[in-house]
Amino acid sequence: MKPFINNIDDIMELLDSQVESISWNDFYELRNHPANFIIQKELPDENLVEFFDKGIPKKSCIEFGCGEGRNAIYMAKQGTTVTAIDSSEIAIQNAKDLAHEKSVSVNFLCQDALKGSTYGLYDFAYDSGMFHHLAPHRRLTYIELLKTILKPSGYFGLVCFAWGEDCADEVDDWEFYQQRERVGVAFTKERLIELFTPYFEVIEIRKYRNGVPDTIQGLDFMWTCLFKNRIEIEH
């Protein structure tokens, strides 16, 4: 760590050092957690299928925290050009293997999505489970990234832990940094609106629906959200 704080990046690095992150390589290698996306690793989210069925712009898409590629592969099957990012080498290799098996093309990248290179512009950005594992200071970086990569009137889809469902830590941002062990942060609907509406229009925030055929099941403890970029002119 640098001995002095000279800019915002130094502050972010300092805060990063205070937060222990999950070892996602261990998570995907050991596979000892009964997570739905581990058990049902080839099925997409029901809300993602609905977004595509409703005709959101989808010529170019990017997914953050893609894991083993189930949603990215679904999007590619719909004729979309997809870039999908995850920090776990094991998850990305499994995703590449699955895409090859399904004969679809996805640009899988193994890197920290918030510290990567410039990604370009996209019609649609998607995140099913990364945002709620970010420390509060990195949510700011995340939103700035979304503002940079979404085309005017582009869309952003999000799936995250819902407050009140006994699925994740129900803490405010100050309490977050006092914890030693973290399993993810739950959000109220009001907090999601507060975070995103300065820059994005809320199209929908609802709970995940189980029972939709050919989609992952057992995620009714999650919010599903769809936002639209407020910018109407070219970046």
Domain assignment present for residue 28? The answer is: no
25 in a structural domain: no
Q: How sure is the predictor about 234, in pLDDT bands with cuts at 50, 70 and 90? A: very low
**154 within some domain:** yes
Residue 123's pLDDT is what? 96
Q: Which of 19-33, 130-144, 200-214 has the lowest mean pLDDT?
A: 19-33
Q: Does residue 84 register a pLDDT over 70?
A: yes
Confidence of residue 141 (pLDDT cuts 50, 70, 90): very high
pLDDT more than 70, % of the chain: 97
**Comparison of pLDDT for 43 and 233, the residue scoring more:** 43
The count of structural domains within the chain is 1
pLDDT band at 118 (very low <50, low <70, confident <90, very high): low
Give the pLDDT confidence score for residue 235 in this predicted structure: 40
User: What per-residue confidence (pLDDT) applies to 1?
Assistant: 61
149-198 per-position pLDDT tens digit: 999 989 999 999 999 998 999 999 999 988 877 789 999 999 999 999 99
Mean pLDDT (whole number) for 194-209: 97
At 232 the pLDDT is 62
The pLDDT value recorded for residue 115 is 81
In a domain, 30, yes or no: no
Q: Which range has the worst mean pLDDT, 84-88, 115-119, 134-138, 144-148?
A: 115-119
Q: Find residue 83's DSSP bridge partners.
A: 62, 107
Q: Is the pLDDT of residue 56 over 60?
A: yes
Specify the range with the lowest mean pLDDT, choosing from 14-28, 71-85, 187-201, 216-230.
Answer: 14-28
For every residue of the chain, DSSP letters joined together read --SS--SHHHHHHHHHHTSPPP-HHHHHHH--S--HHHHTTTPPPHHHHHHHHTT---SEEEEES-TTSHHHHHHHHTT-EEEEEES-HHHHHHHHHHHHHHT---EEEES-TTSS-----EEEEEEESSGGGS-HHHHHHHHHHHHHHEEEEEEEEEEEEBTTSSSSB---HHHHTT-SS---B-B-HHHHHHHHTTTEEEEEEEEPPS--TTS----TTEEEEEEEE---S--
| pLDDT the model gives residue 233 | 45
- Would you state the pLDDT for residue 12? 86
33 found inside a domain: no
Average pLDDT, the chain: 92
The CATH number covering residue 216 comes to 3.40.50.150
pLDDT at 181: 74
How crowded is residue 5: how many other Cβ atoms within 10 Å of its Cβ? 11
pLDDT of amino acid 22:
81
Residue 8 resides in a domain = no
Structural domain containing residue 121 = 41-229
Average pLDDT over residues 97-120: 90
Q: Assess if residue 45 is contained within a domain.
A: yes
Q: Is residue 29 part of a domain?
A: no
